[in-house]
Structure 1
Amino acid sequence: MGQHSTKDIRNVCLLGHGGDGKTSLAEAMLYVTKGTDRLGKTPEGNTVCDYDPEEIKRGFSLSASIAPIVWKNVKINVIDTPGFLDFSGEVFQAIRVAGSAIIAVDAKSGVEVGTELAWDYATEAGIPKAFFINKFDDPEASFHRTFDALRETFGVSVCPVIIPAGANRNIYLNLLDLKAFTFDDNGKCTETEIPDDLKERTETYHTMFLESIAETSDELMEKFFAEEEITRAEAEKALHDGLIAGSIAPVYCGSALKLRGITTLLDNIADSFPSHVAKETEKIIVGDSIEKTPIDENGKTAIFVFKTIADPFVGKMSFFKVMNGKLDNTMQLKNAETGAVEKMAHIYTIRGKKQTEVDSLSCGDIGMIAKLSNTNTNDTLSVDGTVRYRKIAYPEPFLTMAISPKAKGDEDKIASGVNKLLEEDYTLRFENNAETKQLVIKGLGDIHLDTVVSKLKSRYGVSVDLTEPRIAYRETIKKKVQAEGKHKKQSGGHGQYGHVRIEFGPGEAEGLTFTESVVGGSVPKGFFPAVEKGLNEAMQKGVLAGFPMVNLAANLYDGSYHDVDSSEMAFKLAASLAYKDGIPKAAPVILEPVGSLKVKIPDSMMGDVIGDINKRRGRVMGMNAMEGKKGYQIVEAEVPSAEMADYTVALRAISGGKGSFTFYFERYEEAPGPVAQKIIEEAKKNEEA
């Protein structure tokens, strides 16, 4: 492939809804550029980008994959991404190093949830975006319906450039050149004149094309409304400038499976899409702020690691982009996060799973280095270790499950395997919950966690079960009581004696608020710490269902002691007895965790979402129009954590996948009587089991 200069490198990520043909589009690009000698197909499990056994088994992408190609002497790093929301962390990685995005759209299904999310992600990242309306080999495909939906959703910036025509969709119209094209079975493009029966259609969409590019400048807008000619040169410049500025989103069309429209798309990527130096600056972290630094392709070398794969055989594979300067295999770079110096001895370019070693990479290019033991995703390595590029902000996981081994004694295997997966998946969380005595895993959805289960078995040989996690309930009391505890034991020689009188009541602090008001030395001061310790230990188990006791105030006001037999242990046990005597009489209650729920939802689905929240014992706290997202609302509510176990699936069903949510612990509240009784009964069953 050879080395390319920075101005001749394009980094393009493919985004869109699951099943809209992103991987097929990448495969078509590879085939027509002779990057591969056969056209791989997802159903056959032989594509370059979906090479992982899990991807082949499931028939869809699970991770971002790189496919570098060359077209018109321009290197294009195509980054294929998953379409399912469960793997959006991979999308964020791709967008971070991409210079532009192509959003694939199914010509039959039209604008879907993933289409809108792809637009939002690319817009937030500030990268140029274009559409490729795919699957015109499907007899039910409709350009008119799909294009209208794109314009209705994203506005007049959606600009038709290449559109299909003809009864068999075997002719494509280029609205910039006002030419027609046909494609053979190998994707080769042949220019032809526009047939007479298509000239009216061409004129209609050419007017839309001019309308979009006229929006890029006042001069062109005046010409458009005055019906003056906009020259091809003016239109081409406006298309390029508008794409870079984000004011135009060009629309291209074709069929990845039939190789139609691929070469014209590649022409536009090579001619109009930006190189790394086109944006001139990159964002870096300086202290607690984000600043901009100039990009210098001849300056000091700096690379940013955007992805890590923990391969069981190769080891850690670090994928990076050369952000500044040039990288070669003689260099040693310093990690700004860890301070470690890493050797760049073996540099690779990656095409799917194929690795090709190279001596150097230009600024803006993408590559991989294996076995950087002190480097992780989001790290910056540079000559002097002082540069830190803006990190990838990953979505927070929201689905929590308990994970347990099918075979007893495999807990350590789970921890080892999951920790390896954590190196490559920054949307995964794992912890050992000491309170519930469960290993807990968090992810972005049921499919996400299901793939984790599969990888643990295939890579690390451990089979696991996922179950709903136990809820970390609490107990407290609602009224004051006085209680007594006396520990007395005589068995020859020194005995044991401790006697306390304690007033218990609701406390303001989360744990124990311990005070003493002993008069006359009935309990010596030296035993006060033992009493407090005894109470703290006793509070680990409540009297209703064995959950930890919180918000407890205890005042030691009286007691007695023995000169010989009293000890710290005796007073600690006496305090525990007082706890057991008093708490059951102090109106104990069960506390349940309540979280803050924020749901982003289309206006039309508000009623169903609010109704579902009410069924979950939730309280709607407010509703507000979503900024920057027309037709969407944010519903804010407070919901008991116990009612949220299946909310991911429920919201997906209610909203058709258009809704999203965040849920964070807020506080503990008293559980209603019937709910508390059910919790107590369940706890007793678990204790007996």
Structure 2
Amino acid sequence: MPETTSRQDAGVQPRAVALIGPQGSGKSTLFDALLTAAGSPPPRRPGDPRTRAMGTEARLGHCDFMGDPWALLDCPGSIEFVQETAAALAIADIAVVVCDPNPARAAGLAPAFHALERAGLPAMVFVNKADTLGDQQIRDTLAALQAHSRRPLVLRQVPIREKGEVTGYVDLVSERAYRWRKGEPSELIRMPDAVAAREAEARAALAETLADHDDTLLEKVVEDAIPTPEDLYRPLHADIAAGAVDPVLFGSAERRHGVLRLWKALRHDTPGPDQTAARRGVAPEGEPVAQVFRTVHAGHGGKLSYTRIWRGALKDGATLDGARIGGITRFPAGEAAKAAEATMGEVVALGRLDPVPTGATLSPSGAVPALPFPAPPAPVYALAITTEDRKDDVRLSGALAKLTEEDPSLSITHDAEAGQIVLAGQGDIHLGYAVARLAEAHGLRVNTSRPRIPFKETIRAAARHHARHRRQTGGHGQFADVTLEVSPRPRGEGFAFEDRIVGGAIPRKFIPAVGEAAEEAARKGPLGNPVVDIAVTLHDGAFHSVDSSDMAFATATRMAMQEALAKAEPVMLEPVDQVTVLVPQDATPAAQRLLTGRRGQILGYAEKDGWPGWDEVQALVPEAELHDLIIELRSQTMGLGTYTRRFDHLAETRGR
């Protein structure tokens, strides 16, 4: 592993770009093309040890373009790995939203646009596969995308077509025309007459949008004066940095068309890390500050904490929050290289910071306030897991802890009642990858099954039962006599115990043992589930001055409870959740049918606030019907639908 020198020279700060967008949009191809255009061709994907499964983790590559140092992050496109993307956005200076030119697929960009809004991150849009546009107008793609973004999207280019094929573009700011050339930089040409009118129209629209935030440009627009390139460059640069507009460029990553133009736009308009740090609340002066955005347990290589440095410089061996750095790694062209130091703005992997979690804010003193970091999304799919070999149970706990540290959108719960370990996440692909990771990285093979539903039971009627426990085995025996009544309580009121003993039929010292035993007996009713919402009343009993004890009264109580509950018309209860489904509006009817087909009760639906073209559907659905809901929901919504849920109430279930 070679050692690299500092990437920060001549005052140029390293900048970070996150490539985001739907699966299949060509982000990884663009990532490779950008590295190649910068003179740092990426490694062959099968040989990249950090890309353990393509499309599930962000790839990191370092390069220099025109003397400027950059870190590129290729983020997963699947909604099931959204936490990887959110983490990358938390430390990036700008995002490039990569999309398909087909307007019918524009809804797939809505999650990306809203993630940018939440992060307050500047962005550009790159319409990939522009060579497939044919006669389709780029303005139609822009309109479809704008329907899902609250930020104004402005065309930066218009296409040049020859014989029905897009062969180049006109830059709307400089008004220069270029023809793409395979494997070479674009050729500067005279603007074709056929595109002049469209170029003037698009340039005027760009000027009008930018004039909303620039009085000098507004004056020219009002006076119908033709703005100069500088009149447009200045407000465009400011608006991008402020997240006020997103410029739209296009090209073909596969053919390397438009890639150099994208690079130049990034070089001109990407804010520096000092601006990003200020936006995130890091003051310019003070001790070094860094933030961990990703954790990888690299086998014999130990733990790697992928980190953005927001202030100062870090040297190998330095101490952060009480932990000593055990190596600094960069990834030029995606290949690991050791470094002695990392400076402001760099994205590097720090070695062996074992106690440091993902999202942590680090400093030598440990006194710097924590910077914001995205919370993981709520799980929507779960599996119970058991080791194939019971001897591996002890190792499983440690492996799961590492797994959830690497991916905070995974969660582990230990269901003591069901005796299960439940792994939850963002879908079947997400959990399938997690299970594969357990086998690959930790040598643990596990079996998976559907988690047990936490059914309960209650009673419909009151019932009384008398029980006597007597045992004589020589010496002191055991004796206790109780008469108990069980009765139903309103749903949600839980367990209650009442003592109505009079006249000393049972000494006061034994009453607590009766109450505790009654509550314990309710943990498993006649139908095999915990019993809820019942009242237990102790009416009468008898004792022996020598043979009675807490143990004897507990035994008699359990006997009475077992018989009384069986006589009190027991009934099964199932948990019912309030479910909120988020889908594109054209999928709302399908989502409603899906919910009602799972015994759901639709409560209503409405457009989601801030999400034009998307609906939220509210419903009450039994938890037993939710196990694979996300799989079917996504199959009917091009992989876009999702939902959240919370427990609402217990309801009687029939036929179980």
- The normalised TM-score by structure 2 is 0.93
Residue 24 of structure 1: CA displacement? 0.7
**CA RMSD of superposed structures (Å):** 2.4
SS in 2 for 1:589: strand
1:250 paired to 2:247: yes
For the residues of structure 2 that align with 1:152 and 1:628, how far apart are their CA atoms? 11
The aligned residue for residue 513 of structure 1 is: 496
Q: CA deviation at 1:358?
A: 2.0
Q: Counterparts in 2 of 1:593-608, with a 5 A limit?
A: 593-608=575-590
Q: Secondary structure at the match of 1:505?
A: strand
Matched, 1:424 2:406: yes
Q: CA offset at residue 623 of structure 1?
A: 3.1
Q: Quick check: 1:126 aligned with 2:115?
A: no
The ranges of structure 1 where at least 4 consecutive aligned residues each deviate by more than 6 angstroms after the TM superposition are none
1:160-211 alpha-carbon deviations (Å, 9 max, x no partner) = 1134323243323222111122344334233222233333343343333333
Q: CA deviation at 1:240?
A: 0.4
C-alpha contact (below 8 Å) 1:282/1:295 kept by paired residues: no
8 Å CA contact 2:455, 2:573 repeated in 1: yes
CA distance in 2, matches of 1:156, 1:346: 41
Residue 553 of structure 2 corresponds to which residue in structure 1? 571
Higher RCO, Cα 8 Å, sep 6+: 2
1:271 maps to: 268
Deviation at 1:383, TM superposition (A): 2.8
Amino acid corresponding to residue 235 of structure 1 in structure 2: L
Aligned to 1:294: 283
Q: What is the CA deviation profile of residues 326-361 of structure 1, one whole-angstrom value per residue up to 9, with x for unaligned ones?
A: 223353222xxxxxx122352222347622222322
Equivalent pair of 1:349/1:356 in contact (CA under 8 Å): yes
Q: Which amino acid aligns with 1:126?
A: G
Cα gap change, 1:8 to 1:563, in 2 (>3 Å)? closer
Structure 2 unmatched ranges of 5 or more? none
Please name the residue that 1:26 is paired with.
31
Structure 2 residue identity aligned to 1:236: Y
Contact 1:322 1:362 in 2 (8 A): yes
Tell me: CA distance 1:214–1:361, structure 2 relative to 1, closer, same or farther (3 Å): same
Q: Which amino acid aligns with 1:559?
A: G
The residue that corresponds to 1:348 in the other structure is: 329
Q: 1:622 to 1:148 in 2, by over 3 A?
A: closer
1:78 maps to a residue whose letter is L
2:82 to 88, 95, 103: 88
The match for 2:510 is: 527
**Equivalent-residue separation in structure 2 for 1:123 and 1:295 (angstroms):** 25
Distance in 1 (CA, whole Å) between partners of 2:278 and 2:151 is 29
Q: Which deviates more from structure 2 when the two are superposed, residues 253-262 or residues 199-208?
A: 199-208
Partners of 1:155 and 1:507 in 2: CA distance: 51
Taking a change above 3 Å as real, the CA distance of residues 653 and 330 of structure 1, as seen in their structure-2 partners, is closer
Give how far 1:20 is off: 0.4
What is the match of residue 340 of structure 2? 359
Name 1:54's counterpart in structure 2: 53
Count of aligned positions: 646
Map Cα deviations across residues 18-44 of structure 1 (whole Å, 9 max, x no partner): 010111111001111111277x5xxxx
Deviation at 1:249, TM superposition (A): 0.9
Residue matched to 2:361: 380
Alpha-carbon deviation of 1:449?
0.6
One-letter identity of the residue aligned with 1:54: A
Q: For each residue in 1:52-90, what CA deviation from the matched residue of structure 2 results, as whole angstroms up to 9, or x when unmatched? A: 2422xxxxx111121122112211211110000000000
Instruction: Say whether residues 1:457 and 2:439 are aligned partners.
Output: yes
Contact preservation (8 Å) 2:25, 2:99: yes
Kindly provide the amino acid, as one letter, of the partner of residue 76 in structure 2: P
- Give the alignment partner of residue 371 of structure 1, picking from 328, 352, 367: 352
Distance in 1, matches of 2:433 and 2:388, equals 17
Post-superposition shift, 1:120?
0.8
Match of 2:229 in 1: 232
Residues 374 and 154 of structure 1: is their aligned pair in 2 closer, same or farther, counting only changes over 3 Å?
A: closer
**Equivalent residue runs for 1:158-557 within 5 Å:** 158-167=153-162, 168-279=165-276, 281-283=278-280, 292-296=281-285, 299-329=286-316, 331-334=318-321, 341-344=322-325, 346-351=327-332, 354-387=335-368, 388-507=370-489, 511-543=494-526, 545-557=527-539
Alignment match, 1:652: 634
User: Is 1:108–1:138's contact at 8 Å kept on the other side of the alignment?
Assistant: no
Deviations 1:500-545, CA, capped at 9 Å, x for gaps: 01121224675532221211211112221222232223212111x2
> Which residue among 31, 41, 50 is the counterpart of 1:36?
41
Residue type at the aligned position of 2:496? T
What is the Cα deviation at residue 12 of structure 1?
1.0
Between the aligned partners of 1:537 and 1:397, the Cα distance in structure 2 is 32
Structure-1 separation of matches of 2:135 and 2:65:
29
SS class of match (2:560): helix
SS of residue matched to 2:130? coil
Distance 1:118 1:353, change over 3 A: same
Cα deviations across residues 454-501 of structure 1 (Å, max 9, x unaligned)? 112222222223222110111112332221111122344433211101
**1:267-286 deviation per Cα after TM superposition (whole angstroms, max 9, x unaligned):** 11111111112256244xxx
